Amino acid sequence: MTLADAQAFAVAQGWPRYRGEQAWRWVHDKGARSFDEMTDVGRANRAAFAERATIGGVQIAEVQQSRDGTRKLRLVTRDGSSIESVLIPDGEKTTQCISSQVGCAVDCQFCATAKLGLLRNLDAGEIVDQVYLARRLLAEQEPDRRITNIVYMGMGEPLHNYDNLVRSLRILTDQKGMALSQRRITVSTSGLVPKLERLGNEDVRPNLAVSLNAPNDAIRDEIMPINRKWNIGKLLAALRAYPLEQRRRITFEYVLLAGVNDALAHAAQVADLLRGVPCKVNVIPYNPHPEAGYARPSRAAVEAFQNECKRLGLPTYLRTPRGDDIDAACGQLANRVNGSPVVPLRVRRGPPPPPPVD
């Protein structure tokens, strides 16, 4: 429920409007996971709420912790589906990557989540509850650390689950709830052109990241079948028309696949494509996984690609791989266990990461 939904719910029960806001703030601001935690709500009212509503859509089933501090969470929904979320510490910042679907229908060939197919959309409660569970986990394990940034870059294509995406954005940014800044939330998409146009007209406006991953249609058709419907030209036309606020840029995600899209000529094509678009490019060395037969380029190839983009005037950043010593690629945990019985909460620390490949 949004705050307005909670207020309307209270009125529909014959209660004062403020009672709905009171319960809503306990959940979204203070992180309550049961009505019994609402200490300033009368016992009879707490019981009445418990008869008519529930709190929390997911639970933590497994935690993997990397030597670099990254935590990968496997979360289980009420129907037993597994989804994933990742907590990434970076100095004083902590970014949480959250999922929007169980599986994904986009079928990017290098993606572990794609191998699940699309099982279902997450509802808005299941999306925001990933954040609240992680917030509680940090409060218990690292009280001085808090979630500062949210990225919708986990399992699923957020724009395929548009209504629940926008509802979750409104909940997370509500000033009476978690009150996250819109500028600290990023939604990543593979390029659903009609939904991009719709998102640009919403009253809530997150940062936008686009999974480009290829310098031309021939390669993108091969590794991202969605390009056959909305090719690079259509995608860039929609992005050029997207109403960016002042000093905001579109982020282009570019996963480097050895021998596929990592040549210097490819870097030059990318620079030509994005000329005139307010943007930056995040170069991401591929996270190998058993479900796809691609490889990560050498460190030298990654640096050469990045340097060529920068030489050609494109702001380009290297996203350092995180969590290599655990199931780092999105979908690996869920792919392994979806359809299996839920396991108890456990923490598994990965072995030392392998030496870098030159």
Residues 135-148 pLDDT 10s = 999 999 999 999 99
Task: For residue 340, give Cα distances in angstroms to 1, 102, 141, 160.
Answer: 30, 14, 28, 26
In the prediction, which pLDDT does 208 show? 97
Instruction: Assign 334 a pLDDT band (cuts: 50, 70, 90).
Output: low
Q: Would you kindly state where each structural domain of the chain is located, as residue ranges?
A: 1-55, 56-349
pLDDT at 345 over 60: no
Choosing from 108, 111, 309, 330, the catalytic residue is 330
Q: What percent of the chain has pLDDT over 90?
A: 83
DSSP H/E element including 88: strand 82-90
Residues 241, 247, 248, 251, CA torsion sign = positive
Choosing from 62, 84, 157, 253, the catalytic residue is 84
pLDDT at 356 over 50: no
**Residue 314 CB: number of other CB atoms within 10 A?**
22
Asked if domains 1-55 and 56-349 share a fold, the reply is: no
For 245-299, the pLDDT digits (tens) are 888 999 999 999 999 999 999 999 999 999 999 999 999 999 888 777 899 999 9
In the prediction, which pLDDT does 352 show? 39
In the prediction, which pLDDT does 336 show? 52
Mean confidence (pLDDT) of the chain:
90
Q: What value does the mean pLDDT take over residues 9-34?
A: 96
Instruction: Assign 355 a pLDDT band (cuts: 50, 70, 90).
Output: very low
Give me the CATH code for the 56-349 domain, please.
Answer: 3.20.20.70
Packing angle of the helix pair 124-141, 17-28 (nearest 10 deg): 50
Q: What value does the mean pLDDT take over residues 3-32?
A: 96
pLDDT at 317 over 70: yes
pLDDT at 358 over 50: no
Instruction: Assign 349 a pLDDT band (cuts: 50, 70, 90).
Output: very low
CATH architecture of 1-55: Orthogonal Bundle (1.10)
In the prediction, which pLDDT does 286 show? 93
pLDDT at 48 over 70: yes
In the prediction, which pLDDT does 353 show? 38
Distance (Å, whole) CA 120 – CA 165: 14
Q: What value does the mean pLDDT take over residues 60-87?
A: 94
Verify whether residue 330 is a known catalytic residue: yes
Verify whether residue 97 is a known catalytic residue: no
In the prediction, which pLDDT does 341 show? 36
pLDDT at 161 over 70: yes
Structure token pair of residue 188: 């990543």
For 96-132, the pLDDT digits (tens) are 999 999 999 999 999 888 888 999 999 999 999 999 9
Q: Which residues of 93-121 are buried (b: 16+ CB within 10 A; e: fewer)?
A: ebbbbbbbbbbbebbbbbbbbbbbebbeb
DSSP state of 155: S
Which amino acid belongs to residue 83? I
